[in-house]
Chains A and B, each alone.
Chain A
Amino acid sequence: MSVLTSPAGIAADTADALRRRPGADVAGAVFKWLLIGATVFATGFLAVLLAVMIVDGWDVLSGNLWHFLTHGFSQRSAAEAGVWQGIIGSLQVALVTGVFAVPIGVATAIYLVEYAQDSRFARIVELNIRNLAGVPSIVYGLLGLAVFVQTIHGFTQGKTVIAGGMTLAAMVLPIIVITSVEALKAVPSSLREAAYGVGATKWEVLSRQVLPAALSTILTGTVLALARALGEAAPLILVGAATGFLSFGDANMLETFTGPYTALPVQIFNFARLPGADWGVNAAAASVVILVLVLAVNGLAIYLRNRFEKQW
């Protein structure tokens, strides 16, 4: 009963305190503890999840981690198989995703906030973004398969990192637009008015004042969106991320963008569906790797937000 922050809180505490037998509010106490239980359940399962994965994957994590992180998939035995190609593939896919999604997403947000004066086109774009945000990820896989892999085969070379990256770019596009719109709306209009007042054009106001002011929030949203892409497997399965053995041949790093590829979450899926306990150990160990990666990227985003957050 220490929440003395709002009039309602104070009044509620006073009302509770004025009761004749303050200890007898059984219903209130039960309700409160039910809510605390729900909250602990909702947030605590992350700890359980991590613990289970670490315990299950301990054989690999404790003795074999370096081998696991630096070797490719092997069909022969679980002990020989590693996730190196998945990590590389995921980073490449994330890179392509960023290259396509960030410019288009941020530019769309700029159009919506700075240019569109409630025109019909702007309303269509807005409705469209809200609907895109709710489309299941596997449906984006169909888009990737039909359009990015087949229709524009000449550009993507078929089932490649580029096609995978473009598919995930389409998927995270609405997230980037929505967070960037919030960021731009948070920039006070006095900043814009001051710039106009000294004779800046619209583009100058945007590029020299508004964008730098909103940059850190936009960056946070972008990093969070890419973290989402990093963990996504379903659409990549449809656009041909390899689920088994994968040979890069003697392709160099640049050539792997237009060759067969895989991604870390897809490899976890592959480990999980192979029969036998030793593959299960690999699945758990790889889950720990991806959880650490995703949590680190999210941590980075939260750090960026706190470090550069502006108070207007």
Chain B
Amino acid sequence: MTPDHLTAADLQTSLGRRIRSRTVRWLFMGAAAVTVLVSALIIWTVASGAWTFISQVELTRLADIGWFPRRGLFDLTTLLVNSAQISVIAMAVAVPSGFGAAFYLSEYAHPRVRRVMKPTLELLASVPSVVLGVFAISFITPSILTNFFSDINFFNKLAAGIAVGLLVIPLIASISEDALRAVPQALREASAGLGARRVTTSIRVVLPAAMSGLMAATIVGFSRAIGETMVVTIASGGGDTSLYNLSLYESGGTLTSAMAALGLGTDQVAGNNLAFQSLFFLGALLFAMTLVLNMVGDVIVRRLQNRY
């Protein structure tokens, strides 16, 4: 060993220590492999269950009067329409509020206010969804919605959508705020230097620059809303069946609440029963939809990070 080529290995002297260091590496790699295994198992589970369902069900049963799994009626349109309606209501609540909070924290708020508000948003993100479900049936419907819509059902999609929206606000606010803060200060300085007011800078300069990030926040929030289960199960899903209807004032099950309802009865429906298999078919649909949405959101966020 020539002294002018001293490497880290020379300093580590004993071979035993180096061998231990190498071995540990495999442990860490093994753990990383487990996370890939989790994904593989999820895909295998939903795909094989969904295939069993699709290959056994009469396809005409997938378009019928509603979702009655135990009677062999699996109308997908019912669930998809309800999921879409509730998620759109949720976005109507969460997007203005989440964007507004993000703009306030990023463009207007004093740093001290920001330091308090950011952890508060984190705290809000941890409110259990069952609690919001209870909130929907004990407050949103009886104390608010009945004042405006007298013939509203006790279980209804509108209240479920609003509660899901409340749940998604922190997520949207947090991603949007990151997007706004990623806009370089130089743009704001240049705008202000031209004599623009704060509102002009916010709307004409910062908003367009952060547009793709705000879109990503909306997409990820939408994906979260589609996947939300307990709020819908408590506030709108009701039982394990739902008849096709478009009214927001009526109850209706979504992809997720139908799964929860089937799950509650797994002891009764277990075995090679189609109702049990439909659980995995819905899971596969949900998995595919959220995966696509999240990947699109992810690509947009990444592109944004690389821009400035």
Residues of chain A at the chain B interface (Cβ within 8 Å): 2-3, 5-8, 11-12, 14-16, 18-19, 25, 27-28, 31-32, 34-39, 41-43, 45-46, 48-49, 52-53, 56, 103-105, 107-108, 110-112, 114-116, 121-122, 124-125, 128-143, 145-147, 170, 173-174, 177, 196-204, 206, 224, 227-228, 230-234, 237-238, 240, 243, 265, 268-269, 272-273, 280, 283-284, 287, 290-291, 294-295, 298, 302
Contact = CB atoms under 8 A, between A and B. Distances in A.
B126 A294 contact: yes
Given A42-B101, A234-B256, A272-B133, A131 B39 contact: yes
Contacts of A41: 97, 100-101
Nearest to B137: A272
A108 B266 contact: no
Q: Which of B96, B123, B220, B287 has the most CB of A within 10 A?
A: B123
A265 B279 CA distance: 22
Interface of B: 8, 11-13, 17-18, 20-21, 24-25, 27-32, 34-36, 38-39, 41-42, 45-46, 49, 96-101, 103-105, 107-111, 117, 119-124, 126-135, 137-139, 166, 169-170, 173, 185, 188-189, 191-193, 195-199, 201-203, 220, 223-224, 226-230, 233-234, 256, 259-260, 263-264, 266, 279-280, 283, 286-287, 290-291, 293-295, 298
Contacts of B227: 135-139
Nearest to A234: B229
A103 B28 CA distance: 10
A224 B94 CA distance: 23
Contacts of B42: 135, 139-140, 142-143
Contact of B96 (A38, A133, A143, A228): A38
6 closest Cβ pairs, A-B complex: A38-B100, A136-B227, A231-B128, A199-B11, A107-B31, A11-B192
Given A38-B100, A115-B28, A232-B129, 19 more contacts: A6-B185, A8-B185, A36-B108, A42-B121, A42-B124, A48-B139, A108-B32, A125-B35, A135-B227, A135-B287, A136-B287, A137-B227, A142-B45, A145-B266, A199-B8, A231-B126, A231-B127, A291-B128, A294-B127
Contact of A233 (B41, B129, B286): B129
B32 A204 contact: no
B97 A38 contact: yes
Contacts of B31: 103-105, 107-108, 111
A130 B299 CA distance: 11
A3 B290 CA distance: 40
Contacts of B195: 15, 18
Nearest to A237: B263
13 contacts: A2-B110, A12-B196, A12-B197, A18-B195, A107-B30, A107-B32, A115-B29, A130-B294, A137-B229, A143-B42, A202-B24, A237-B260, A298-B122
Contacts of A146: 45, 49, 280
B263 to A, nearest CB: 4
Given A16-B197, A243-B264, A269-B234, A294 B128 contact: yes
A5 B109 CA distance: 11
B128 A290 contact: yes
A53 to B, nearest CB: 7
A132 B134 contact: no
Contacts of B173: 42
Contacts of B103: 35, 38
Nearest to A35: B104
Contacts of A174: 35
B188 A147 contact: no
Contact of B138 (A5, A240, A280): A280
A131 B280 contact: no
A8 B192 contact: yes
